[in-house]
Chains A and B, each alone.
Chain A
Amino acid sequence: MLQSAKLKYLFPIILFTAFFLDGSLNQIFSSTLFQYPYSMICNLTLMWFVMAIFFEGESQINFTLWSFIIGIVFDWYYTGVFGVDTFIIPIVVMLVRGIRPFVKTSFLVILGMDMFAMAIYNILFFIVFQAIHLANVSAGFFIGYAFLPTIILNLSIFVILYYPIKTLFRRTRGTNSRRFT
């Protein structure tokens, strides 16, 4: 049987599932994730983007468009301040896509890229929120109690989910020789 790139349709579905799971998981495990002063944020959405960028194969997903859409929905549903994630997520996604041709596709590289994406995302978010006075914490406090714990949490989730997601991509992205779009 010929295999078409199912990923094209699967990608947005999982993207939104990851997006809504982020909020729900943060709520369900809030007593573990938010032990003030420490706060960890689970960010499956960004991880899904990074993995998809590396494993897309021939599926031709419009990442910029999807990152823009998910950014708007994030601002809409989670923060109520439009124009923050709407642009930050596309910037992060475009950066990762820009770097992708220069690196190998290996576990460690993708782990590093996930860390890079998380870092850029959190730093940009911090800068914007400081500028509009919605975040009122010092940079030192931010790095020690929010930024590092968040990155550690997300990297551990990444390690657990890497192989299952990789297998999923292998099965759904279509292959070079049997290209159907």
Chain B
Amino acid sequence: MHKFFSNRKLVIMVICAIIAVGLIAGSLTLRKKDKTPAIQKIGNDVFGAVSRVIAMPAYGIQTVSTNINNFVSTYEENERLRKDIDDLNATHAENKSLEAENKELKELVGLKKTMSDYSLTAATVLTRSPSSWQDLITINKGTSSGIKKNQPVLSGTGLVGRVIEANYTTSKVELISDNNESANRFAIQVQATDGEYVNGIVTGYDKKTNQIIMGQITDEKTVKVGSSVTTSGLGGVTPKGLFVGKVIKVSKDDYGLASEIRIKPAAKLSNVNNVYIAKLN
């Protein structure tokens, strides 16, 4: 029987370990930078294209099954939606006039750009990383559509994550349910009972209860359960006013110093299919 750890094998193993550590350290540093290296971008795009082709039949099956499901519930949904439409039309008209007024007022004051001016780019989710540790999804839009690293990503109902890698035609998005320590945190705010805003940041995500944790809150103000939480626009990367979720619990944090607010996310993070990337104008 030959020795399992021969000298040559041992040397190779040590070298591999060193290379692994170097590579990991290198890529963690790259994650923090503004841009992704071209070679990484090209590779990602190529894999993205292959993945699209391979997944096509699978998506076809999905489309058929959702179509059948939709067909069954169409009648009820139609009834419900008809009621909503009238309401929406009125709100839409109101929004238009408010927007125009807002613009005029901004011009009067001389404000050119504010944190609440943003536009949305629609994208479809290609894959979800098969890793239990990272809640990463790959979307089908990249720098060629104007997407940049660190831009916030929304689903139809609310904030879902942030772009962490922008390639030419695909991008990686880290969901807010990803609990890693190096994540770029969102600055968020919630209206207190006295009408003023309480600022804080998303400090984590509790997967057991499906709640976003808002921490580092400095103001000692009472916040009502059920009030809406939005991004605050502080930090200058994320636009102001993106809907995050609703407050469901207010408590002291583990150390009893600052208060901690638990938020029920508006978006369903386990099932993200179509997303919008918000970019500041």
| A83 x B27 contact (CB < 8 A) | yes
- A41 at interface by CB-CB < 8 Å: yes
Residues of B within 8 A of A2 (CB): none
- A122 at interface by CB-CB < 8 Å: yes
Residues of A within 8 A of B133 (CB): 125-126, 129, 134-135, 137
- B19 at interface by CB-CB < 8 Å: yes
Residues of B within 8 A of A125 (CB): 131-133
| A80 x B130 contact (CB < 8 A) | no
Cα–Cα distance between A82 and B40 once the two chains are bound (Å): 11
- A79 at interface by CB-CB < 8 Å: yes
Residues of A within 8 A of B128 (CB): 23, 26-27, 30, 34
Q: Among A14-22, A51-59, A167-175, which stretch is in contact with chain B?
A: A14-22
Does more than half of chain B's interface fall in helix, strand or loop, or is it mixed?
Answer: mixed
Q: How many residues of A contact B (CB 8 A)?
A: 51
The smallest C-beta distance from B54 to any residue of chain A, in angstroms, reads 4
Cα–Cα distance between A145 and B182 once the two chains are bound (Å): 23
**Given A41-B130, A80-B31, A137-B207, A30 contacting B272 (CB threshold 8 A):** yes
**Given A20-B51, A35-B270, A83-B20, A26 contacting B179 (CB threshold 8 A):** no
Which residues does B use to contact A, with CB under 8 Å? Answer: 16-17, 19-24, 26-28, 31, 40, 43-44, 47-48, 50-51, 54-55, 58-59, 62, 125-134, 136-138, 164-165, 172, 177, 179-182, 204, 207-208, 210, 268-273
Which residues does A use to contact B, with CB under 8 Å? Answer: 16-17, 20-28, 30-31, 34-37, 39, 41-43, 73, 75-84, 86-87, 122, 125-126, 128-129, 132-137, 141-142, 145-147, 150
